[in-house]
Structure 1
Amino acid sequence: MAGEPLLQVEDLRLHYRSGRGVVRAVDGVSFDLRRNEALVVLGESGCGKSSLAKALTRVLPRNVQQFSGSVKVDGTETMGYSEERFRREVRWVRLSLVMQAAMNALNPVVRVGEQVAEPLRVHRGWPRKRALARAAEVFGLVGISPDFLQRYPFELSGGMRQRAVLAMALVTEPDLVIMDEPTSALDVLTQAGIMNALKRIKRELGTSFLLITHDVATSSEIAERVALMYAGQIVEFADARDFFREPAHPYSQLLMASVPRLHQRQRPEHIPGQPPSLLNPPEGCRFAERCPFRFERCGLDPEPIAVGDRHRVRCWLHAAGIRR
């Protein structure tokens, strides 16, 4: 894991225009991701996780108010790339995206095999026959019979459609695959199958994954590092072992306490209150209104504070040296 990180993100911002004002969906996000690493981005719905995926892959809507910061791939800054250069050299070449709702990501009137093969024809210039042969290989990798290449999306189950979209993201052999809620709306057994396929792909191909989810239990199966988002910011960034065993941010602690466990006597707790609106986030710490440890300094916006090796937390309690 030594050497330059595969992905380095610094002060990334993605704000949208709306009829009610500016939505600060991604607001000063910084993190890094190494080769052959699985980074999980956790957070409640509406915290900016999906917008982060769109910012990294530049799948941007028309109402962008601000898109700024630094995104380096293998040490090369890509924010200055034109859209054409980014499409030609980065998107689906170095990194790819698995969007939410697999059925919506597939064209219902085009056979699945043609859609999985398309990135090879567009980005590599491969002829159709060669691209389809590669698509069949990747189908085997994600656990689908090559016979399904000739099927239409509506002929596949939800789990198989999700695997097909994953195959589409993997077919060009990118260094990094970004997955936005890949197991949502799937049953538990199908979720387990998808996660096992990801672990096998990571082991066999050395692919890095950035997994965006709100599902703590599922994410713990593959996570090596965790970034916890809240109201457009990363409030804790840590090795998965440290995060799941000893979360440092009050939000992390409450989130972990809300997860049911098989062998526990106490009932899961709930997090009081609601996340703030990204139209008008509060000054200072954005979790302060819901935090049981709030004190005077929380009226100021905290910077990420190192609390251990490769462990950062955005909380004044650690700067103040307060023991909870």
Structure 2
Amino acid sequence: MSSGSLMEIEELRLRYRTEDGEVFAVDGVNLELRRNEALVVLGESGCGKSSLAKALLRTLPRNAYPPSGQVRLAGENVLALSEEQFRRQIRWTRMALVMQAAMNALNPVVRVGEQVAEPLRIHRRWSKHRAMQRAAEAFEEVGIAPDFLQRYPHELSGGMRQRAVLAMALVTEPDLIILDEPTSALDVLTQASIMNVLKRIKNERGTSFILITHDVATSSELADRVALMYAGRIVEVADAELFFTRPAHPYSQMLMASVPHLRQKEHPKSIPGRPPSLIDPPSGCRFADRCPKRFARCSADPPAANLRPRHWVNCWLHSRGDS
């Protein structure tokens, strides 16, 4: 485990059983997350981003096989823990989740404050009074007046509900918070406000984040590093500034070319075709059918090519010295 590393993921795999066959949702993912770092996992819908979050937190649907590989949190392989050990020692104490749809994450008939305080009462055995005091502090951290602790979820706006769910994740002061499309249902101004809250928390408390999203513009506000996911695999990992300005993988380049910019003369370009099925993924490079730079070697799986420290790409172009 490298110095300053909080989490190391090695060959993580997750499959689902379906009527049509097995879905290879996460297929050999390797990632590293350092302390006080925000890692953004980007990708199109259906590429396996949310399944990656479910595998890390072990919040799996019934049709999922147990994930395989290793997930080392501060050196400990948490995938080797039993479900009871993971629930007591890891989930919501050292790793927490902010879900995409805040209304679905909140119980509509329980006051918001009680729900935010609940992890402290369950995992730390705090009294209700002490837990509610800490919940009020968490509300202030995310920019909600403590008076709203007594409200029900339907009495809060969409942005306030998302902040309340963030407060629920923060209340136990975990090392890592995983955010699964946390701003997708919010307007642009509210999205920016939530991103500012996350940046402040990261700077003030040293919390690490994994942000899962398809929104390039929003992710750039928080990202220290970017991992691009395609068809269940990570195809490029780089520092955020480098990824957004000089992406290396053809998919990364085409994705950035599809993003509109205020001062660019060229129109955004679409990416032709569609991602392959994860029930029967193709052999070789999974982006090959959509790639304008495809050549003969793309029929085999590309190795990881290290372009510079902590920047690697799975592409034959770079493995053979081309760009």
TM-score (norm 2): 0.99
- 1:316 maps to 2:316: yes
Task: Show the counterpart of 1:301.
Answer: 301
Identity percentage of aligned residues: 70
What pairs up with 1:114-263 in 2 under 5 angstroms? Answer: 114-263=114-263
Q: Secondary structure at the match of 2:80?
A: coil
| C-alpha contact 2:23 2:279 (8 A) present in aligned 1 | yes
| C-alpha contact 1:35 1:208 (8 A) present in aligned 2 | yes
Residue 10 of structure 1 aligns with an amino acid whose one-letter code is: E
| C-alpha contact 1:40 1:227 (8 A) present in aligned 2 | yes
| C-alpha contact 2:178 2:211 (8 A) present in aligned 1 | yes
Task: Show the counterpart of 2:13.
Answer: 13
| C-alpha contact 2:40 2:212 (8 A) present in aligned 1 | yes
Task: Show the counterpart of 2:49.
Answer: 49
What pairs up with 1:86-105 in 2 under 5 angstroms? Answer: 86-105=86-105
Query: 1:185 and 1:90 mapped to 2: Cα distance?
Result: 28
| C-alpha contact 2:7 2:74 (8 A) present in aligned 1 | yes
Deviation for aligned residue 1:66? 4.9
Task: Show the counterpart of 1:76.
Answer: 76
The runs of at least 4 consecutive aligned structure 1 residues that moved more than 3 Å come to none
Deviation for aligned residue 1:304? 1.6
Deviation for aligned residue 1:303? 2.2
| C-alpha contact 2:98 2:165 (8 A) present in aligned 1 | yes
Q: Secondary structure at the match of 2:79?
A: coil
Residue 266 of structure 1 aligns with an amino acid whose one-letter code is: E
Q: Secondary structure at the match of 2:8?
A: strand
| C-alpha contact 2:303 2:319 (8 A) present in aligned 1 | no
Structure 1 stretches lacking a partner, 5+ long: none
Deviation for aligned residue 1:65? 3.1
| C-alpha contact 1:22 1:65 (8 A) present in aligned 2 | no
Deviations 1:56-83 (A, max 9, x none): 0000111123520000000111111000
Query: 1:191 and 1:79 mapped to 2: Cα distance?
Result: 33
| C-alpha contact 2:8 2:31 (8 A) present in aligned 1 | yes
TM-score (norm 1): 0.98
Deviations 1:181-234 (A, max 9, x none): 000010000000000000000111110010000000010011000000000000
Query: 2:66 and 2:84 mapped to 1: Cα distance?
Result: 20
RMSD: 0.8
Query: 2:163 and 2:303 mapped to 1: Cα distance?
Result: 39
Query: 1:34 and 1:67 mapped to 2: Cα distance?
Result: 22
- 1:291 maps to 2:295: no
Deviation for aligned residue 1:4? 4.4
Number of equivalences: 322
Residue 267 of structure 1 aligns with an amino acid whose one-letter code is: H
